[in-house]
Structure 1
Amino acid sequence: MSLRRLLVLALPLAFATATLSDRASAFEPSSTECIAPANPGGGWDFTCRQVGKTMQDLGFIPGTMKVTNLAGGSGGVAFAEVVNKRNDDNNLIVAASSATSSRLAQGAYPGGDMGQVRWLASVGADYGIIAVAKDSKFNTLPELFDAIKADPSSIAVSGGSAVGGWDHLKVLIAAKRAGIDKLRQIKYVAFEGGGEAVTQLLAGSVQAFSGDASEAKGFVDSGDIKVLAVLAPERLPGDFSKFPTAKEQGIDAVGANWRGFYAPGGMSDEAYDWWVETIGKTYKSDEWKKTMASNGLAPLDLQGEDFEKFVAESVAEIKELSQEIGIIK
């Protein structure tokens, strides 16, 4: 049992039975900040900026939320910064996703463990997509995978996570369901963020892109990329409704990237409760529902302990999958 929990148990009953709202009201945020653990243009950057803007528009935070892009190690640099240098910052939150749980599951953050930070809440799920440049010869996902089967060296797939990260795992899941047995032969090229990965696709350096609906939205709107498949159980609503799922094309693959936040492990209980409550209110707002609909986000409403349990289960599942495909032992 942690020291923090021992201290909580030792508090007088009047304090121990305080409601979340009571504790949350004891904290007043000042200069809020969100770390996006990648370069601008990717999913983590989107999460920080859009949630921060919504909080500001709703008057939940004072002034504007600062967004700091801290790329490196597929989130590892940001994780280490929070754990080692900003462990008691009550005004700091960090964008997280399935990529975060993937890297934690695979031991990719040196010395990193999900218990070193506090898990706040989710703000939706972002389904994966596999796309190509607008002038690509491929028009369906089976066509792309047939080309990989015929000559694995001829197709390189870009993504905004490291080798073994969530963008890579999505491709492997879909490829396996498409009947590709030699998954390690698939060429995956990692970049620091989805924006850079799409840029390399448009430059012709790679032939396909694995990412999430939200980070690809701008490139879809501009017509620069062609979405071959959405890795969702059924077609997404809104702007992404015109794109077929992998399932529609005979490939039974689903890849949902949850989006949410963690906080420094030493954050006070009062601040933690305030952030959990505030992110929850933001998620339930009409403003955020509109943002979700226009960016291909699906519902995922988890806060506090429920979110922490969800992340723990995600870490365990990804660890098992990674062992199966040989990324880790």
Structure 2
Amino acid sequence: MTHISTLARWAAPAGLSMAVLSSPAWAFQPGSTECIAPAGAGGGWDMTCRLVGKALQDQKLIPGTMQVLNKAGGGGGAAYAEVVNKRNSENNLIVAASTATAARLGQNAYPGNDMTQVRWVGAVGADYGMIAVAADSPFNTLPELMAKVKADPTSISFAGGSAVGGWDHLKVLIAAQKAGITNVRTIKYVAFDGGGEAVTQLLAGKIQAFTGDISEAKGFVDAGKIKVLAVLAPERLEGEFAKFPTAREQGLNAVGANWRGFYAPGKMSDEAYAFWVKSIGTVYDSKEWKDIMAKQGMAPLNLRGEAFEKFVKESVGEIQDLSKKIGIVK
């Protein structure tokens, strides 16, 4: 998949990622800071805001606590539109973003909006995707699940925290193609406003499989509620995540990584933008964040400022190409 090669290419030495504006960080002093999570509580965007917000506070990079605002709707579109149309000059605001954001921008799914209307701050790592089922599901491997989908597409509904055509949906389609399912439009996908809500519906028996990122699945696995059939990583992850099999080792060469980072209002001052680029970079460089990444199953992705903006632009373009191939974008 082209996007994954881009991710590998950009997950390079830190020297590539230091392009920031020259304004001194101390020219802007943050006040009451806020992070918008463009989905409900419990999903990846919510986690990104809360983990980074706490790290910013713990490292005394911001005064007091960063407020997290959950703004669900439109696969991130509601939050994007609010920032562009109503909060476009605020200096104390950052917004969680991911491959899902790039996917929706690449599919022109945020009406009237494009990636140039905001400022891209930096990445804080990447999550590998996964496909899971309820703990008591009869399916124990990804090939078993996909064989059922191939035989009877209407019998299996997948759910995720992104809109139809979003990154969670695309991950299922990538795996399905690798399993020999040619007509991917027959696959049933149900969109929810966040991974937490999707898992709730899985446990209620309303849907049969859940797609998301491994970091947001871990808590549900630890609670004994779901089982991960496959991680969409090139090889097994390390640490606590090593127990989860990859799709590749089960014979399906499906790889999908979800970068995580932040954008800011398009008319944020240069001084404020430089502060946020520097501060997010300081969090990323810290031992504390490296420990969080390991605990959450996140892979390195060290991109800031202009380098991050260039990476997002490539992501948007490549996801647009993928979406055209599977008929989501004409």
**Pairwise TM-score range, normalised by the shorter structure:** over 0.9
The question of whether the paired residues in 2 share the 8 Å contact of 1:42 and 1:160 is answered with: yes
2:274 aligned with 1:243? no
Letter in 2 for 1:122: A
Please name the residue that 1:199 is paired with.
Answer: 200
The question of whether the paired residues in 1 share the 8 Å contact of 2:21 and 2:305 is answered with: no
TM-score scaled by length of structure 1: 0.93
The question of whether the paired residues in 1 share the 8 Å contact of 2:236 and 2:246 is answered with: yes
Q: How does 1:59-98 map to 2 (within 5 A)?
A: 59-98=60-99
Aligned residue for 2:231, secondary structure, equals: strand
Q: How does 1:21-100 map to 2 (within 5 A)?
A: 22-100=23-101
Please name the residue that 1:268 is paired with.
Answer: 269
Cα deviations across residues 193-224 of structure 1 (Å, max 9, x unaligned)? 00000110011001100000121121011010
Please name the residue that 2:7 is paired with.
Answer: none
Once the two structures are overlaid, the 10-residue window that deviates more, 231-240 or 120-129, is 231-240
- Rounded to whole Å, the distance in 1 between the matches of 2:240 and 2:323 is 33
Please name the residue that 1:12 is paired with.
Answer: none
The question of whether the paired residues in 2 share the 8 Å contact of 1:23 and 1:269 is answered with: no
Q: How does 1:1-329 map to 2 (within 5 A)?
A: 20=21, 22-329=23-330
Deviation at 1:23, TM superposition (A): 2.1
The question of whether the paired residues in 1 share the 8 Å contact of 2:133 and 2:139 is answered with: yes
Please name the residue that 2:9 is paired with.
Answer: none
Unaligned runs of 5+ in 1: 1-18
Letter in 1 for 2:236: R
Unaligned runs of 5+ in 2: 1-19
Deviation at 1:240, TM superposition (A): 1.1
- Rounded to whole Å, the distance in 2 between the matches of 1:259 and 1:170 is 16
User: Number of paired residues?
Assistant: 311
Deviation at 1:24, TM superposition (A): 1.4
- Rounded to whole Å, the distance in 2 between the matches of 1:236 and 1:83 is 37
Aligned residue for 1:263, secondary structure, equals: strand
- Rounded to whole Å, the distance in 2 between the matches of 1:322 and 1:279 is 31
Tell which structure's C-alpha radius of gyration is larger.
Answer: 1
Aligned residue for 2:121, secondary structure, equals: strand
Aligned residue for 1:142, secondary structure, equals: helix
Letter in 2 for 1:225: I
The question of whether the paired residues in 1 share the 8 Å contact of 2:23 and 2:274 is answered with: no
Q: Which has the higher contact order (CA 8 A, sep 6+)?
A: 2
